[in-house]
Chain A
Amino acid sequence: MTHGPGISGLILEEPLLWEKGKQGRTAFSMPDQDVPEATAKLPQELLGSGPEFPDLSEVDVVRHYTRLSGWNFGIDTGMYPLGSCTMKYNPKINEKMAATHGIVSSHPLLSDDLSQGSLQILFELQTFLAQITGMDAVSLQPAAGAQGEMAGMLIFAAYFRKKGEKRNKILIPDTAHGTNPASAALCGFKPVQIKSGDDGTLDVNLVSELMDEDTVGIMLTNPNTLGLFEESIREITAIVHAKGGLVYGDGANMNAVMGMVDFKRCGVDIMHLNLHKTFSTPHGGGGPGAGPICVVSELEDFLPIPRVVKHDESYQLKYDCLDSIGRLHAFFGNFAVLVRAYSYILSMGAQNLKKTSQLAVLNANYVKESLRDVLHLAYEKPCMHECVFSDLMQREYNISTLDMAKRLIDHGYHPPTIYFPLVVPGAIMIEPTETENKEDIDQFIAVFKDVVREAKDNGERLRQAPTRTKRRRLDETMAARKPCLIG
């Protein structure tokens, strides 16, 4: 029996915030009342009774969150091979840099000459991302990948509006992230699903059949969500362009191809990047991320405003862009996230970014080759940064992907992405990322093989898993049927 790092330990219970505390306590160091009290002047009808927050001492708050943190699992805790999410190590130095005094205190509405430091970071990061993708111009404003997609779709709409063309369909492969069709629909396009071919990639003939002059173009992810490179990308983009369409590239999987693939040469017109994936900014238990968009020069004028430009030696905000799709964020996007990505790129340099992609792909292929005897491999092709298996071989024992995933938790691993992409029933998508070393990957592989053995010999153990966590499997049906969203 192989063991992962997971063993049982002491877990401390902790109630909800408002189940503790006593009225009159505080954890806030109250500033002096150095001016006269004035609230009596406010008309009574505008005043409220104040929110019912619990009153807690500093120690109450510290213990509360420290205990909660112990029930969580992050990259710093252990291996997190969550496919399509690029859970790589988030360097500590980036956190420190984002907290630099003059940067953290910077107000977004000061004049350009008082904000040269912040504008320099934005301008240089734009330049770096253009270099890394091969694209011509960048906007850092979108706050997440999904908002980047939306920006891209708004640019599609604005582009055809300017050309005086009415087109309302968009091609989206069936392997796409759910955000792709949702973003397209938000911008008024009707998604037309393209079935992926038997080898997991797009069929050029199918694209050719579907692409017409009512269609704005295609939205694709490359490498795709099966971890496969769309080898016909040049033919596909040529077909779309020949019909007057545009190509949107979802850059969610950029970690596989830095310094290896040039997206402009692939024929991509707009793409977004997920800085919280490829560029190592922390996922924060759900956000904030950042989803900059990169475009070819023909589409630069459509980018969100304000743009950040450089004139002589000074950085400036530019607002007079008539074709712009407008503003997407109250200020400049998730600036502190952008600062972390900037810090990461400066720490890495060109050679290390390229090496990052090479090692990410090496780790994924190594896992693929090491587990293919015990798990069904969805596609017999070279994979990029992630590989997709399924539970096909375990179904005869009545064991599902979910059961294996939950058992991995007991061993101290965050499970891979499961049941996505939808085209692979019972999918298990593993993305080790480049920051995992060989012995940790070997241990993960050995544990996974044991879990597969257990599936055959001791299935009940998997169906009961996890048993070492604070809570066992949770009743999600009840949560949705009778929603209890506040306490």
Chain B
Amino acid sequence: MRYLPHTDQEIHEMLAVTGHGSLEGLFAHIPEECSYHGDIDIPAPLSEWALSEHFHDIGRNNYTSAAKSILLGAGNYSHYIPAIVPSLIGRSEFLTAYTPYQPEMSQGTLQGIFEYQTLTARLLGMEVANASMYDGASALAEALLMALRIARKKNTIAISSAIHPHYREVVFSYLQAGSFKIIELPVSLDGRTDLSGLDDIDDLAAVAIQSPNFFGVIEDLETGSNLIHSADALFVSCFSEAFAYGLLRSPGASGADIVCGEGQSFGMSQSFGGPGLGMFACRTKHQRNIPGRVVGETVDMDGKRGYVLTLSTREQHIRREKATSNICSNQGICALTAAAYMASLGATGVRRVAALNYDKSEYLKAGLIKAGAKPLFDSPTFNEFSLTFANNFEPVRRRLLEKGIIAGIELGRFYKKYKDAYLFCVTETASKAVLDTVIEEVSS
């Protein structure tokens, strides 16, 4: 096997040094009642060439291998990835390094993550950011746990029911063992979160809103921030589409205390939903309560600028059961990918691509409305929107599927109340020709 370099002769020589007669002898102290019986029942090894064929066949069993366009987001988005991003970040000096515990030989990763933290904070309008969490969903759960730590004695949180349903499920999983109360806030007729009842909630530690929310609607974060703060709670603002903040007013500028969400749009392929990138930022005054790793600037023995992992007394390897989180890793290579992606776009590029997402999305929305569809909510959206159709949309969707186009997803999967509605997503990757095909199919 090409990954196992030992020759028989070398094994023999090494066993002589260790004082064993055979490789099995190295395991002689393992009790018989623990030992593995027989051979592991898995397929025989494949050569590189046979393996490639196997993967090629498997890939073909996914519809997307032949799809033209996927007009579906819902937390996982199709965006163009510049060739330089995977090529640079795939360099094995980055990819095959461990966590940068030895900073002198990890300055590449460390400066790269420091840059990621900075660009993330700038994107979200926040003062500090961490080195990333697993994904948008667990980042939200960690943000709520952080808010509960900051608020100390209060034990209730309110989360908008317009937050991605899967994110809410993860919040429930993370918080199920604690004695916390979770209240789900209803959606108003305009598709935004109804915050009118906050004053009636006791012990309210934090309120979480997603913008753009799961229906694609842009929340009024500034008004939300005022209402949440006057209820004496922390404002957690989350997102599933990081590109929105290339165009929209940032959660930080709108008054959020903690901002978290999914960064997959910034250079990560869709890959059946993972790995993603949990972006996480907050105000400086809360930085010692932040979960996960952070990189900070310092100097070396010669006074030269350098970077290290810092504030580690919050973390599990020091604080053990008293840590701010049990997380031990970050999404290192994904964070570096996002930084390289943001750097490739630049301020000019991120705004243009974000605007293009909006323009294309509006084009399809307007075309479908003209063809008879109705918006589920009458509020501004970014690159996703929800519609209902006068006639059954399923046959149209099936016809489009045969043409290589995934046209939205049925909202009834997530909300019984909206069972006839569909959620669409249009990014810069969808051509006008594809959008016209969808409009024509609905019109016919």
**Residues of B with C-beta under 8 A to A102:** 58-62, 64-66
Cβ contact within 8 Å between B294 and A362: no
Residues A486 and B172 in contact, CB atoms below 8 Å apart: no
**Which of B74, B170, B329 lies in contact with A328, CB distance below 8 A?**
B170
Expressed in whole angstroms, the Cα–Cα distance for A418 and B249 within the complex equals: 46
A7 within 8 A of B: no
B84 engages A69 (CB within 8 Å): no
B325 touches A473 (CB 8 A): no
What size tier do the contact residues of chain B reach? 35 or more
A52 proximity list for chain B (CB < 8 A): 122, 347
- CB nearest to A151 among chain B residues: B173
**Given A331-B166, A347-B48, A480-B312; 15 other pairs, CB 8 A cutoff:** A16-B118, A26-B346, A51-B245, A77-B96, A105-B67, A109-B74, A116-B61, A179-B316, A231-B30, A261-B35, A350-B42, A437-B6, A473-B300, A476-B308, A487-B297
Residues of A near B128 (CB, < 8 A) are: 483, 485-486
CB < 8 Å: which of B35, B272, B363, B428 contacts A31? B428
Q: Quick check: B409 and A36 within 8 Å, CB to CB?
A: no
Measured between beta carbons, the chain B residues less than 8 angstroms from A71 are 105-108, 111
Q: Which of A207-215, A293-301, A365-373, A391-399 contacts B (4 or more CB under 8 A)?
A: A365-373
Tell yes or no: A455 within 8 A of B by CB: no
- Cβ of A285 and Cβ of B333 under 8 Å apart? yes
Q: Which residues of A contact B45 (CB under 8 A)?
A: 346-349, 351-352
Judge if A243 is at the interface, Cβ distance under 8 Å: no
Contact residues in A for B301 (Cβ distance below 8 Å)? 464, 472-473, 475
- A400, B232: Cα distance in complex, Å: 51
Q: A289: CB under 8 A from chain B?
A: yes
The stretch of B7-15, B151-159, B181-189, B198-206 that contacts the partner chain? B7-15
Contact of A284 among B23, B43, B94, B316 (CB under 8 A): B94
Answer yes or no: A273 CB below 8 A from chain B CBs. Answer: no
B104 near A473 with CB under 8 A, answer yes
Question: For residue B319, which residues in chain A have a CB less than 8 angstroms away from its CB?
Answer: 178, 182
Q: Which residue of A lies closest to B112 (CB)?
A: A68
Q: Do B18 and A33 have beta carbons less than 8 Å apart? A: no
Give the contact-size bracket for chain A.
35 or more
In whole angstroms, what is the CA distance A34 to B364 when docked? 12
Q: Does A379 contact B (CB under 8 A)?
A: no
Query: Is A54 an interface residue when CB atoms closer than 8 A count as contact?
Result: yes
Q: Mark B34-50, 1 if CB is under 8 A from A, else 0.
A: 11110111111110100
Name the distance in Å between A470's Cβ and chain B's nearest Cβ.
5
Q: Which residue of B lies closest to A188 (CB)?
A: B177
Cβ contacts under 8 Å, B380 to chain A: 41-43, 46
Q: How many A-B residue pairs have CB under 8 A?
A: 706
Nearest CB in chain B to that of A140: its residue:
B274
Of B298, B302, B356, which is in contact with the most chain A CB atoms at under 10 Å from its CB? B298
Interface residue B218 (Cβ < 8 Å from any Cβ of A): yes
* Any A CB within 8 A of the CB of B370: no
- Is there an interface contact between A369 and B17, defined as CB atoms closer than 8 Å? yes
B56's contact among A48, A74, A100, A116, by CB below 8 Å, is which?
Answer: A100
Residues of chain B within 8 A of A150, CB atoms compared: 174, 326
- Whether the Cβ atoms of A409 and B40 lie closer than 8 Å is no
- Quick check: A104 and B173 within 8 Å, CB to CB? no
Residues of A within 8 A of B13 (CB): 438
Residue pairs across A and B with Cβ atoms less than 8 A apart, 23 shown, are A30-B352, A50-B350, A51-B123, A51-B245, A51-B250, A73-B102, A96-B52, A102-B59, A103-B62, A107-B270, A147-B134, A178-B315, A265-B34, A283-B98, A287-B275, A287-B331, A326-B170, A338-B274, A351-B39, A365-B20, A382-B26, A474-B308, A476-B308
Please determine whether B330 and A287 come into contact, CB atoms closer than 8 angstroms: yes
B106–A72 touching, CB < 8 Å: yes
Q: Is A82 at the interface (CB under 8 A from chain B)?
A: yes
Cβ of A217 under 8 Å from chain B: no
**Interface check B114, CB cutoff 8 A:** yes
- B137's partner among A85, A114, A330 (CB-CB below 8 A) is A330
Q: Mark B110-130, 1 if CB is under 8 A from A, else 0.
A: 011111011101110101110
Taking the complex as formed, is A247 at the interface, i.e. its CB lies under 8 A from any CB of chain B? no
What's the least CB distance linking A81 to chain B, in Å? 11
| Contact indicator B323/A77 (Cβ below 8 Å) | no
Nearest 4 A/B pairs, CB to CB: A331-B273, A102-B65, A102-B59, A286-B332
Known: A50-B351, A478-B298. Is A261-B36 also a contact (CB below 8 A)?
yes
A29 & B1 in contact (Cβ 8 Å cutoff):
no
* A353 CB contacts on chain B under 8 angstroms: 40, 42
A121-152, CB < 8 A from B: 121, 128, 131-132, 134, 143-147, 149-150
Cβ of B340: which chain A residues have Cβ within 8 Å of it? Answer: 61, 65
A93 contacts which chain B residues (CB < 8 A)? 48, 51-52
Complex contact A486–B118 (CB within 8 A): yes
A369 to B138, Cβ gap below 8 A?
Answer: no
Interface assignment of B318: CB less than 8 Å from any CB of chain A: yes
- The listed residue with most B CB atoms (<10 A of its CB), out of A29, A336, A337, A353, is A336
Docked Cα-Cα span, A361 to B24, in Å, equals 10
Decide if A76 touches B173 in the complex (CB within 8 Å).
no
> B271–A346 contact, CB under 8 A?
no
Set A26, A58, A190, A369: member contacting B19, Cβ < 8 A = A369
A284 touches B333 (CB 8 A): yes
Which residue of B39, B317, B432 contacts A34 across the interface (Cβ within 8 Å)? B432
CB-contact partner of B350 in A51, A107, A368, under 8 A: A51
B64 touches A48 (CB 8 A): no
Query: Which residue of B99, B173, B246 contacts A283 across the interface (Cβ within 8 Å)?
Result: B99
In Å, the complex CA distance between A271 and B74 comes to: 32
A26 to B349, CA, bound (A): 7
Chain B residues 418-444 with CB under 8 Å of chain A are: 428-429, 431-432, 435
- What residues of chain A lie closer than 8 Å to B396, measured between beta carbons? none
Verify if B321 is at the interface (C-beta below 8 Å from A): yes
Residue pair A361, B64 in contact (C-beta under 8 Å): no
- A37 within 8 Å of B (CB atoms): yes
A17 close to B97 (CB less than 8 A):
no
The answer to whether B35 and A69 touch across the interface, beta carbons within 8 angstroms, is no
Asked if A272 is at the interface (CB within 8 A of a chain B CB), the reply is: no
- Inter-chain CA distance A253–B298, complex, in Å, is 34
